Structure 1
Amino acid sequence: MKIVSALAGKRRAITAMAGNGEILVGQRRNLQLLPPEHLMLGIIVGFGLAAVALVLATGRIVNWPPFLVGFFATLGLVGVGGYIRAVKAAPRIALAVIGVGVFMGFTAVSTVFIFALFPLPNPLIDQQLIALDAQVGYHWPGFVAGLAEYPWFARGLGYLYHTSLPQIVLLIIVLGALAREVALHRLLLVGIVTLIVTVAIWWLWPSVGPSAYQTIPKPILAATGLYYDDAYGAYLKQLVEVGPGRISPEVITGVVAFPSYHMVMACMVVWFSRATVLFLPALVANLAMIPATLSHGGHHLIDLAAGVVVFAACLAVAHRIIPSPSSV
């Protein structure tokens, strides 16, 4: 009777914790991959096959080995994570390892897919976006010139701008360490779905940002450390109109302007770091990511607003696909 009572008490404790939004992944030692992980890996494989098909259909030349390294690293991390979960009984580590693998895998396949889309079929809409920004008083060269008055701050924003991906990796590790299974899987799914939606919008209404149309004087470029000059803007336009001669890591750069995926990632980090030790630093860093994205990202103001809308819509989708334990 004591054994039965103890088991019942343990079951009640598990139920109570699940009701509070936590999944006791330690109770799933016999499972290698959880359903959301199966779903996201399926999306990665499907997206990868779509990228290969697109490359073959367009006759693009791809330097495959560097991209395949990322894809096989994903398989390796997922395999290691599954082993850790099934054999080593370390579910929190498994969550983090598989999560990083999923993130790396989708990043690798989506990069090839995006660059295989060039040249884009529709004309750039940057002039219209510049006009919309002007209606609310935003002027990119004027904004950058204002930052040049504070060179230390402007250069600091440049370093911050390049931390979006490391921030997400760190958040994946922390959520795994905290056994925040639902939050971690939603983070990954939101990252995947938002990128698909962002690229779809950009493909229909392409833009490369104001650097291809507006000039920043060289002293201001030097003071801010900005690398989005006229030549860079011309390079982005060439990518859109002609495409790269060869898809390789050295030609990969940020080409999606509207909506801003940097803004999407900033929203992801802030939203999913809630109730963790990362929240306050993430909030401060990603508030600063707004001027960093506008300046060093070479974005229109409306790009950022569109990024917030895409994030909010895809977050709602992720909540439906991966519901809270209490609603299952």
Structure 2
Amino acid sequence: MILTITSRRLYLWALALVAVNGTFILVTGAQVDTSALPRRLGLAALYGVLFAGFCHLSRNPRHAGRYMVAMPRHVLEFVFFMTLFAFNLQFLNYLSMDLLAALPLQDDFLHGMDLWLGIDWMAYFEWVHARPRLISVMEWCYNQLAPVSFAAMIYLIVANRVRRARLLLETMMITAVFCISVGAFFPAEAAVQVLVAEPERYTNFATVPGIYHLADLAMLRDPTTPTVVAFEGMQGLVTFPSYHTASGILLCVFLWRTWAFLPSLAYSTLMIAASPIFGGHYIVDQIAGALVALAFAALFLRIEGRVPRGERNALPATA
């Protein structure tokens, strides 16, 4: 049997996300840039052919119990889902922001929450700026979330922890949908744009950090500008809650008690620390992102506990 309980659930999540995006496109009248679609379809076809080939091999009695047949099949399935979810989540991000574009910006509220918590965001910005060696490391960590997440899932598959890999993928995807959905009600220009009065003074940064999304956010909030969604090149627009923070927490949770835990902890610590600067997040965004991650991790781990033990088998142990 190719599909397990968790992977069937992933197919349902994927279909639901496609349906929601299709509905939003009809409601908002957004345009879809299909220039990158042929390449996407070509990759999907390649994954499909390879996946079908390994599925065929796994049905052959001579290869059915072989790790080197089962493992690539699982890897290809994960690549397919990550590709499918990636652009659908970007679509949802832009379309939900467009749908609720009339809502006022929430920077004053989010900054006010930081102040209420006694947090001096600008002092942290100054502290990071004074450490140029740390800046380059933090920027790299912030920009590598997608490949690091992919590497974590591949590690779990190769380490014969397929169920845990599927749970990590599923939890990260549902957390992303939740953050995007909530974030649409809290549109914000982000902390760097609002709080850093003279960004050109901070010369230790190669470019002004945390403002990469502003042009696209302005486009979506301008009623005279048509909304365009594409299969590549879209930016993350959500400020509250912080998805980077949530992802770092989830990586540590699902890599706990594996050889990859300490590297994931080191990476996640630096990536989360970089989020206020390079993601333009207020600290309250990160607190919310961490709480969301812990809640969904607890939920899906509880669901996993209800799965019959026979469904927890991973890859064949034989070589």
TM-score range, shorter chain: 0.7 to 0.9
Q: Which residue of 2 aligns with 1:52?
A: 22
**Contact 1:212–1:236, Cα closer than 8 Å, also in 2:** no
1:129 pairs with one of 110, 121, 129: 110
Q: Which residue of 2 aligns with 1:105?
A: 84
User: What pairs with 1:138-287 in structure 2 (closer than 5 Å)?
Assistant: 138-228=119-209, 234-235=214-215, 237-242=217-222, 245-248=227-230, 252-287=234-269
Give how far 1:72 is off.
6.4
Q: Which moved more, 1:215-224 or 1:185-194?
A: 215-224
Render the CA deviation track for 1:197-236: whole Å, top value 9, x for unaligned.
1112112333342133222534554303353377x57536
Q: Partners of 2:217 and 2:233 in 1: how far apart?
A: 14
**Contact 2:245–2:286, Cα closer than 8 Å, also in 1:** yes
Q: Partners of 1:262 and 1:218 in 2: how far apart?
A: 23
Give how far 1:238 is off.
1.3
**Contact 1:93–1:176, Cα closer than 8 Å, also in 2:** no
Q: For structure 2, which runs of at least 5 residues remain unmatched after alignment?
A: 59-63, 312-319
Q: Which residue of 1 aligns with 2:317?
A: none
Secondary structure at the residue paired with 1:123? Answer: coil
Q: Partners of 2:12 and 2:35 in 1: how far apart?
A: 22
Secondary structure at the residue paired with 1:247? Answer: strand
User: What pairs with 1:6-85 in structure 2 (closer than 5 Å)?
Assistant: 31-66=1-36, 69-70=39-40, 73-74=43-44, 76-77=46-47, 80-81=50-51, 83-85=53-55
Q: Which residue of 2 aligns with 1:304?
A: 286
**Contact 1:158–1:226, Cα closer than 8 Å, also in 2:** no
Render the CA deviation track for 1:65-99: whole Å, top value 9, x for unaligned.
42574466456536633542442442222222212
Structure-2 change in CA distance of 1:176 and 1:200 (3 Å): same
Q: Partners of 1:233 and 1:286 in 2: how far apart?
A: 22
Secondary structure at the residue paired with 1:204? Answer: coil
Question: What letter matches 2:29 in structure 1?
Answer: G
Give how far 1:113 is off.
2.1
Structure-2 change in CA distance of 1:233 and 1:248 (3 Å): closer
Q: Partners of 1:221 and 1:208 in 2: how far apart?
A: 19
**Contact 1:158–1:292, Cα closer than 8 Å, also in 2:** yes
Q: For structure 1, which runs of at least 5 residues remain unmatched after alignment?
A: 1-30
Relative to the length of structure 1, the TM-score reads 0.80
Question: What letter matches 1:106 in structure 2?
Answer: F
Structure-2 change in CA distance of 1:159 and 1:46 (3 Å): same
Secondary structure at the residue paired with 1:62? Answer: strand
Q: Which residue of 2 aligns with 1:87?
A: 57
Secondary structure at the residue paired with 2:228? Answer: coil
Higher RCO (CA 8 Å, separation ≥ 6 residues): 2
Structure-2 change in CA distance of 1:68 and 1:272 (3 Å): farther
Secondary structure at the residue paired with 2:32? Answer: coil
Secondary structure at the residue paired with 2:36? Answer: helix
Structure-2 change in CA distance of 1:176 and 1:296 (3 Å): same
Give how far 1:250 is off.
6.7
Q: Which moved more, 1:318-327 or 1:118-127?
A: 318-327
**Contact 1:148–1:224, Cα closer than 8 Å, also in 2:** yes
Q: Which residue of 2 aligns with 1:10?
A: none
Q: Which residue of 2 aligns with 1:322?
A: 304
Q: Partners of 1:216 and 1:327 in 2: how far apart?
A: 59
Q: Which residue of 2 aligns with 1:12?
A: none
Give how far 1:193 is off.
1.1
Question: What letter matches 1:279 in structure 2?
Answer: F
Structure-2 change in CA distance of 1:192 and 1:265 (3 Å): same
